[in-house]
Structure 1
Amino acid sequence: MSIFSQGFFGRRDDMNRRPRVTRGRLPVRMLFALAAAVVMMTLLLPGSPPRADEVIEPPASFLTGAFDGSPPTPAILWLTPEIQQQVEAVLGHRLAGLRLRYWRKGERSVWILNEIGKEEPITAGFVVESGRIVRVSVLVYRESRGYEIRYPQFRGQFEGVGLDAQGRLDRPIDGIAGATLSVNAMIRMARTALLLDRLSMPRSDGPQEVPK
């Protein structure tokens, strides 16, 4: 009797039998692997998922530093139609809401504003004293590009800047290649902070309008 008929290797017809192949179906493990690969590729595609808010400086920390550790009680500026009209001339739109919170101690005021860069709002803080910006900080950044505006080399350009007779910054701000929209948003917010500082300054003859 041959060893191939029975024995260690089983029957001859078992050896000649081809493995069964199920066409049109994939193993469950392979399906899960393919699904995971698709998810990973989707996450890696630029611009697919929303960018998480990046807190560069907490607003509370910025506010504390602006007033040497003892910020005043917040004040309220009511956004009257007259104020909104002047703000719209700078931003191109009105501020949301009926009132805006700010902080003032003597000649120094602090404004925390939001403005759209390319697609997402940029949150920035401005310290204004005696009608001029003394400090600027990018507090929260949400865009996928243009992050260079957070660097001191750019922000330092705003220090000492005020408004001219036309309500524009009295000093040019150098742009950043690839970050034009974010730079323009910062310039608009700087003008708005200086404008709101003027409008909120206590005066016996009422708020001062900025020429357009």
Structure 2
Amino acid sequence: MKFIPLLSLFIVLFNSSNTFAKGVYQTPEAFIHQALAIPTPKANIFWLDGNAQKTIETILAHRFNKLRLRYWQKNNETVWVLNEIGKESLITVGIHIKDQKIAQTKVLIYRESRGDEVRHPFFTDQFKSAKLKNDLELNKHIDGITGATLSVRALTKLSRIALWLDAQVHLKG
């Protein structure tokens, strides 16, 4: 009988640990301001034509139902705030591109119940200096995290998309 309260507490703590993974770690506005080191500039709009839609859908391996994406730019730098589903919920990621390579990747809002290890610098720092190859893959290997496979894939896909979008912005600019 003495162990029932202790067992009950353990069960509650164990089951509630899944809810700790969810959170807002930084607002998109704060990330944009921090990345560009200036007052947050006005957002630009990238209109998705057929080619852009097809490329993004190729990277995501599913449909992408948006007509436009917002981004922020300062000289040769762009910042993208993108969303992708991990296992069941959206993950919001800020990606700062400078000189056609990733300067910073940061999980801004994590809504999944598990796998939030992808938000830590030990994982996101792997994306630093990554570039996009002609086959739309990153030029460097990203190590996965056991138990967070779908979140790892989501961040990798969003990084590839941000690099491709940055290249398109600079081609048009």
TM-score scaled by length of structure 1: 0.70
CA 1:130–1:110 in 2, change beyond 3 Å: closer, same or farther?
same
Higher relative contact order at CA 8 Å, sep ≥6: structure 1 or structure 2? 2
Match of 1:164 in 2: 133
Letter in 1 for 2:136: G
- Tell me, what secondary structure is at the counterpart of 1:109? strand
Q: Whose Rg is larger?
A: 1
Structure with greater strand share of residues = 2
Aligned-partner Cα distance in 1 for 2:23–2:13: 19
Match for residue 116 of structure 1? 85
> Contact (CA 8 Å) 2:22, 2:116: kept in 1 or not?
no
Matched residue type, 2:166: D
Structure 1 residue 97 and structure 2 residue 103: aligned? no
Distance change in 2, residues 1:142/1:75 (3 Å): same
Is the contact made by 1:51 and 1:142 (CA closer than 8 Å) also made in structure 2? no
Cα offset, 1:186, TM superposition: 0.5
**Stretches of 4+ aligned residues off by more than 4 angstroms:** 43-47, 50-53
1:78 corresponds to which of 33, 42, 47: 47
Alpha carbons 2:28, 2:94 under 8 Å: kept: yes
- Coordinate RMSD, CA, aligned: 2.2
Where does residue 183 of structure 1 map in the other structure?
152
DSSP 3-state at the match of 2:103:
strand
Pairing of 1:35-74 with structure 2 (within 5 A): 54-74=23-43
Structure 2 Cα separation of the partners of residues 174 and 44 of structure 1: 30
Structure 1: distance between partners of 2:108 and 2:150: 17
The structure whose residues are more often helix, as a share, is 2
Q: How many residues align?
A: 161
Q: 1:202 to 1:166 in 2, by over 3 A?
A: closer
SS in 2 for 1:201: helix
